[in-house]
Amino acid sequence: AGDTDIREIPGRRITAYGKLREPPGADNPGCFDYRIYLRSRGIGYAFSAKSLEISDDGPVSVRARYKRWLFETREDFLDRFSDPEIRAFIKGVVFGDKSDISEETLEDFTANGTGHILAVSGLHTGFLYSLLRFLQGRRRTLPAAAFVIMILIMYGDMTLWSPSTMRAVTVLTVSLLSMYARRPFDLLSAVSASALLILLIEPY
């Protein structure tokens, strides 16, 4: 919205003026349904904004402060890369945000079969989990496990919880908790739990 920094938006009041409408569905049976596609992304209506107003009216909630801190941490990390192309690449690889990567670069990654590294998945979350467990050393206490789970959740918030991220974080969390509940870890049950969680949050 204008020159507003993304890290400053959480907690602010945004007032938009325009037209709200339901997205069109498929024109013919079996064709692409734009309405269902948007619902699968958590979007129920389309809004054509004629104007936007951003203000700081009202108190900032704890959740908004947390979100703002996350965005500040993420953007401060990305600001360390002065080259725009490198910054866009790091943003895509680490946070799964491909909005700043050029179409040509995306096509090159797709053509050589490495496009999956630009989408945050179990691979990225697994690397983070392995690093945290390595830093813990031999400390396998419940507070240490809670710290790992907290970091994984924060990373999920930074990546805006894509289905693959939610699946990976859920499976790793179940794996950690099973150790302290003294129950055997079953991968199929953990993946099923993550699938149920994803479907409950976003049934489309």
Of the candidates 183, 173, 164, which has an alpha carbon nearest to the alpha carbon of residue 145?
Answer: 173
Top-confidence residue, 156 or 55? 156
Lowest average pLDDT, out of 1-10, 12-21, 32-41, goes to 1-10
The answer to whether the beta carbons of residues 126 and 168 sit under 8 Å apart is yes
**pLDDT score of 8:** 66
Containing 127, the helix (H) or strand (E) segment is: helix 122-136
- What pTM was computed for the model? 0.78
Lowest average pLDDT, out of 78-87, 101-110, 113-122, goes to 113-122
How much of the chain, in percent, has pLDDT values that exceed 90? 28
Q: 1 pLDDT band (50/70/90 cuts)?
A: very low
Q: Is the pLDDT of residue 122 over 90?
A: no
Please state the rounded mean pLDDT for residues 26-47.
88
Write out pLDDT tens, residues 145-197.
899 999 999 999 988 888 888 999 999 999 988 888 888 999 999 999 999 99
Please state the rounded mean pLDDT for residues 87-95.
88
Q: 7 pLDDT band (50/70/90 cuts)?
A: low
**pLDDT score of 171:** 94
